Amino acid sequence: MAEKLQGQTISYKNPPHIIAHGSIVGPEEGKGPLGDSFDLVCEDVKCEEKTWEKGEKKMVADLIELTLGKASISASDVDFLIAGDLLDQIITANFVSRDYDIPFLGIYGACSTAVEALALGSMKMDGGYADCILCFASSNYQTAERQFRTPLEYGVQYTGNNQWTVTGAGAYLLGWIGGKVWITHSTIGKVIDLGIKDANDMGAAMAPAAADTILQHFTDLNRGPQDYDMIITGDLAGIGKKILTSLLEEKNIKTGNKLQDCGAMIFGGKKKYGAGGSGCAASAVIIGSVIIPQIISGKLNRVLVIGTGALLSPLSVLQNESVPGIAHAVVIEKIPEE
Amino acid sequence: MAEKLQGQTISYKNPPHIIAHGSIVGPEEGKGPLGDSFDLVCEDVKCEEKTWEKGEKKMVADLIELTLGKASISASDVDFLIAGDLLDQIITANFVSRDYDIPFLGIYGACSTAVEALALGSMKMDGGYADCILCFASSNYQTAERQFRTPLEYGVQYTGNNQWTVTGAGAYLLGWIGGKVWITHSTIGKVIDLGIKDANDMGAAMAPAAADTILQHFTDLNRGPQDYDMIITGDLAGIGKKILTSLLEEKNIKTGNKLQDCGAMIFGGKKKYGAGGSGCAASAVIIGSVIIPQIISGKLNRVLVIGTGALLSPLSVLQNESVPGIAHAVVIEKIPEE
């Protein structure tokens, strides 16, 4: 019966188009090397709200309006929202969705959330359950630091292997008509735990999950790096990317320059940001605003996108649990011209 | 294209069977009027672990083994896990899934999580993406109180409209062969906010969402209460159930004795538990262990199950946000004999 499933990979018979995508980032991301790529850069990280959390909500609300506007679609044409974020009880996604008269599915995949949403959205589209879905995910440096680690006011010194949560949000509108790229496959990952216990060292915690999902994807479709123009992970950052490269080489998979990481790209390797960016927004803003334009322009044709998540909570760290990782993948490619 | 969607309701062409279900509860639930219905009652709420959170994990791990065993299915036959819980970053679901070599989709729908999992699982089955899915959800009085409200050690007095988080977990195995009930429809709900600001008064916060989803479901399928033998909500408890009844009556929908609520049932209305039970586990344990057996026995034929969730976090309450609700529905009915 499951004629679209091989191993962990789903092949879509009716691949949904990404008909519009939008990105919004904070001031630090705006100053980075990709700053000009994003649709909106907020100079004020609170977006003139009273708290960082309310600022994150405002950012996402603005993003949704922007994304719907790009596609000239009104909210009433959207069948479902699929979204999540890093905050406890995904309050950003919940509270933003409150302002829309659209059925909402809340998900939590840590920093893999944007790709989890795209994978679930693709299934809903291909399965005949929807004609238009809005997927979104957000994160914020200030809200994440005080929730997961220490309040910024403490002025804790970073260790160097730490990552800097990307402030921003990305949205993707799935539909049937008018897109130039589509989602052809998705690979749902397993929870993988190699016993990392340092809540700062998330790249190391997530790299084994990314390796597992990439290898599984290649096995399922009988493909390899030669079948992709780029293989891009979400937020392994500098350290995690090196570990992933080694893990793949151990299995005789050489990715060379094809392997990229959104977290390693967004701050241009500046020391201030530790090993690089992290958070749902890292992949959510870069896939839409940096990678998809390269597919549309013809520079890339087929890209394997791997969302990576570190599955920790402040409580799990206090209770001496390790940090497992998870990685979900989607294949985004140019829609062939007829 | 979306030939299976009417309004917010999806009708499955290949309705998945619920081939097994399992339930595990804590000592308080075991002493309640439905205590004998559940598969396992833990006398020790920590399940001999060091913390309540680790106890919750152990409970879910035991439940999964029990449920797979009931269907004589090994973990390697399960294509996907879909699960969530109430804890920050859904650590129960994440950490339990770590022990299985099965792709995992994390979701967060507050106390509607079990029904959200069943709805997503049904789409994945019907869409041709899976042959076997395990959905599960859990909650725990001790872990929820200290996370959402006040640590139990404070001995805070309850207000009477409070609800008592059900300790327990429910699991549902979806497949194609051998079940006696199946899932024929699902209705995904919107985030509805009527401005309730009391984090104790969750029934009142969720009732408008439940009413919205029930009314939408009836409209979408041109059905009414006469088409169902039971309409059962997740965890509105005594107060929320009364509000829901009124809201439906305002729209000329009379449900009479057909309207039931898992939260109102589980503790038998004892004053100790406030307005009644709440938590993901309320619906997760009762639908499987109390309602499905009545469908199998022929006492009921078609049941509308509505998972209800209150979308709050400790932080959103501190920031003076209201408590929006969400409700997702699935229709469970007896598989006609050929």
Cβ pair A264, A290 in contact under 8 A: no
Residues of chain B with CATH 3.40.47.40: 5-175, 181-334
Report pLDDT for A242: 97
Contacts of B100 in chain A (CB under 8 A): 190-191
Picking from A129, A131, A191, the nearest residue to B98 by CB comes out as: A191
End-to-end CA separation in angstroms for chain A: 31
- CA dist., res. B186 & res. B306, Å (int): 10
Residues of chain A with CATH 3.40.47.40: 13-175, 182-333
Residues β-bridged to residue A216: none
Report pLDDT for A338: 73
Picking from B3, B53, B106, the nearest residue to A319 by CB comes out as: B53
Report pLDDT for B279: 97
Amino acid at B24: I
Looking up tokens 């294209």, which residue turns up?
A: B1
Q: How deeply is B239 buried, as exposed, middle or buried, from its count of CB atoms within 10 A (0-12, 13-18, 19+)?
A: buried
The contacts of residue A303 (CB under 8 Å, 6+ apart) are A228, A229, A230, A231, A232, A291, A295, A331, A332, A333
Residue B167 DSSP code? P
**Which CATH fold topology does A13-175 show?**
Peroxisomal Thiolase; Chain A, domain 1 (3.40.47)
- CA dist., res. A224 & res. A213, Å (int): 13
Q: What's B181-334's CATH class?
A: alpha beta
Minimum distance, in Å, between the CA of residue B36 and any CA atom of chain A: 32
Q: Search chain A and give the residue with CA nearest B85.
A: A89
Report pLDDT for A161: 87
Between β-strands A133-139 and A168-175, what pairing exists: parallel, antiparallel or unpaired?
Answer: antiparallel
Report pLDDT for A159: 83
Q: Search chain B and give the residue with CA nearest A322.
A: B95
B129 vs A10: CB contact, 8 Å cut-off?
yes
Report pLDDT for B201: 85
- CA dist., res. A76 & res. A102, Å (int): 7
Report pLDDT for B161: 87
Which residues of chain B fall below pLDDT 70? none
Contacts of A311 in chain B (CB under 8 A): 89, 91, 94-95, 98
**Which CATH fold topology does A182-333 show?**
Peroxisomal Thiolase; Chain A, domain 1 (3.40.47)
**Chain centroid to CA A160: how far?**
23
Structure tokens at B121: 């699982």
pLDDT tens per residue, range A137-179:
999 999 999 999 888 888 888 888 899 999 999 999 999 999 9
Q: Quote the radius of gyration of chain A (alpha carbons, Å).
A: 18
B1 vs A102: CB contact, 8 Å cut-off?
no
pLDDT tens per residue, range A327-336:
999 999 999 9
Amino acid at B127: G
Please give the average pLDDT of every successive group of 10 residues along chain A, which has 338 residues.
94 98 98 98 95 97 98 97 97 97 98 98 98 98 92 86 95 97 98 90 94 98 98 97 97 97 96 95 98 98 98 94 97 93
Minimum distance, in Å, between the CA of residue B192 and any CA atom of chain A: 6
Q: Quote the radius of gyration of chain B (alpha carbons, Å).
A: 18
Minimum distance, in Å, between the CA of residue A21 and any CA atom of chain B: 21
∠ CA(A115), CA(A324), CA(A85), 5° rounding? 40
What stretch of H or E contains A123? helix A113-126
Inter-CA distances, B120 with A124, B113, B190, Å:
9, 10, 15
pLDDT tens per residue, range B284-306:
999 999 999 999 999 999 999 99
Residue among B99, B54, B197 nearest A190 (CA): B99
Q: For the complex shown, is ipTM > 0.90?
A: yes
Structure tokens at A297: 């322009």
Q: Search chain A and give the residue with CA nearest B103.
A: A190
Minimum distance, in Å, between the CA of residue A239 and any CA atom of chain B: 23
Tally Cβ neighbours within 10 Å of residue B19: 22
Report pLDDT for B156: 85
**Chain centroid to CA B290: how far?**
13
Q: Can you list the positions of beta strands (E) in chain B? A: 5-6, 9-11, 17-25, 40-41, 80-85, 104-106, 133-139, 164-165, 168-175, 181-187, 230-233, 259-261, 277-278, 302-310, 325-334
**Which CATH fold topology does B5-175 show?**
Peroxisomal Thiolase; Chain A, domain 1 (3.40.47)
- CA dist., res. A65 & res. A68, Å (int): 5
